Structure 1
């Protein structure tokens, strides 16, 4: 099947993998972008994502509806976000330390409650056949995308508008840039940050549901591979811009699809090294974008990483 396409099978496989692998990065990074715009960082999104994958799969299995599974995953993500926001609101509590603790809590709870869900089959999310115009099976398969991918793109556009054109976005950015100025204007600091963290948790939960209900489409304890943590680095790379988060998610998705693409065309030696491409890319991006003057350009000034 791959021989019919020749070398075109590799970029086609990377394109298809990019559209599939990028969606969790997109949702987590957009949620974390909102959280960090409020002046708070959440490193616990990896745990939220894993728990969301388990909750989404279990919800879809119990209700028979994958969309109810997505909703359940998002609601559990909100709970994790609210917990993170509440704990970070306490005096002398470090948000990075809380995030790490909640990451371990989320993954531990997911593994504990998810053991009965490894064998049962839950209904999967549908696919949008963007390649229906083609007679080539590989093209049709590569251009199948999840509705969540399209929804993620629309959310990125909506967030860019909210940040730049609405009062909600102005208040969020003010709280993230100067809590004193926001307080002087009469805006509540803690409710804004807790709400932003809850939104970030919701998006991470939905990202987890995508993993278990679409691609790879199953629940297991190794389902994430650190995508929640990579997405936090992705936000810094995107300079806290929602549309840039979309482009960066595609870039990371393409890197994650490189290994399987080479394997699909018969590369049998060394292809597994390309499975590390997203992690290498994360290190390279952080290295080349770091400098004394531009490392945190555009960062909300209330973030703990800027102080």
Structure 2
């Protein structure tokens, strides 16, 4: 089917399509960080987990021929990183921010080392679902090609929101995140809760990495993450530790990332590469906007290192 000239409508359409594609790794990493931080621990190592997940997911998908096994392997790698992070942080005097930075460097280094043989080979990609069959316009059909992981991430955001509000597991995580003393008084093992929360958060980051290497951009290379794991920390603060808000914030970040290609699609090429900086400028702007002492930590778990 030949392309149809849809004029300036191509810009919002391209931004919508890009927001759906680009937001998915932001969504999974931010949901993982939200879960981890709600338990009272911050994990800056998710950037390394994401990169290692991208490499391991791509490698397993290539070796087995199954992208879904690649996603499972990436999630498992994230669990291992999360468990190690949680185990180290339980010792007295250990700073979870410092450990997170160390694990970020470790995960990145391991991914670069083990991923060298997989830079050239082509692994099978994750499938997508077409939601644009109602339209005869090829651009609309292409824009509404939605990856299965995006849909899963949207459902996961709703599930986590419900879990925090209406389940015992969510209550336990919130209590541990707000007060270790209160958790101990209730007979809860705060270290174990944080360990499991950090492991689950790591699994989500691993899935985000698999999405990058197996769908968009759909290849493994050493610069595949572009700092998305670190930006997720700012996104969670902006979302006020609410999983539903993480979903909308991820779409906002995704739309910012899609701005450059959207403008290029209608012939705006001047300063094209500057638009690639939009997500980073947005991150900086959000950090500045939320830096007020009265608002910055509103809704934050009291046990977080950044609140003390």
Distance 1:97 1:30 in 2: 21
**1:247-278, Cα deviation, whole Å (9 max, x unpaired):** 00000000000011112222221011111000
Give the Å deviation of 1:293.
1.2
- The reply on whether 1:139 has 2:140 as its aligned counterpart is yes
Alpha carbons 2:4, 2:137 under 8 Å: kept: no
Indicate conservation of the 8 Å contact 1:22/1:253, yes or no. Answer: yes
Alignment of 1:1-307 (within 5 A): 4-307=5-308
- Give, in angstroms, the shift of residue 10 of structure 1: 1.0
Question: Does the 8 Å CA contact 2:3/2:138 hold for their aligned counterparts?
Answer: no
* Contact 2:46 2:104 (C-alpha < 8 Å) held by counterparts: yes
DSSP 3-state at the match of 1:182: helix
What is the TM-score normalised by the length of structure 1?
Answer: 0.98
The secondary structure found in structure 2 opposite 1:202 is helix
Shift of 1:2: 7.2
Q: SS at 1:145's partner residue? A: strand
CA deviation after TM superposition for structure 1 residue 94, in Å: 0.3
In 2: Cα distance, 1:135 partner to 1:270 partner? 33
Give yes or no for contact 2:4–2:138 (8 Å, CA) kept in 1: no
Q: Which ranges in structure 2 are unaligned for 5 or more consecutive residues? A: none
Distance 1:75 1:89 in 2: 21
Runs of 5+ consecutive residues of structure 1 not aligned to the other structure: none
CA offset digits 1:178-211 (Å, max 9, x no partner)? 0000001100111100000000100000000000
Shift of 1:232: 1.1
Q: Which portions of structure 1, spanning 4 or more consecutive aligned residues, are displaced by more than 6 angstroms?
A: none
Question: What is the CA-CA distance between 1:141 and the residue it aligns to?
Answer: 0.6
Contact kept, 8 Å, 1:2 with 1:9, in 2: the verdict is no
SS in 2 for 1:4: coil
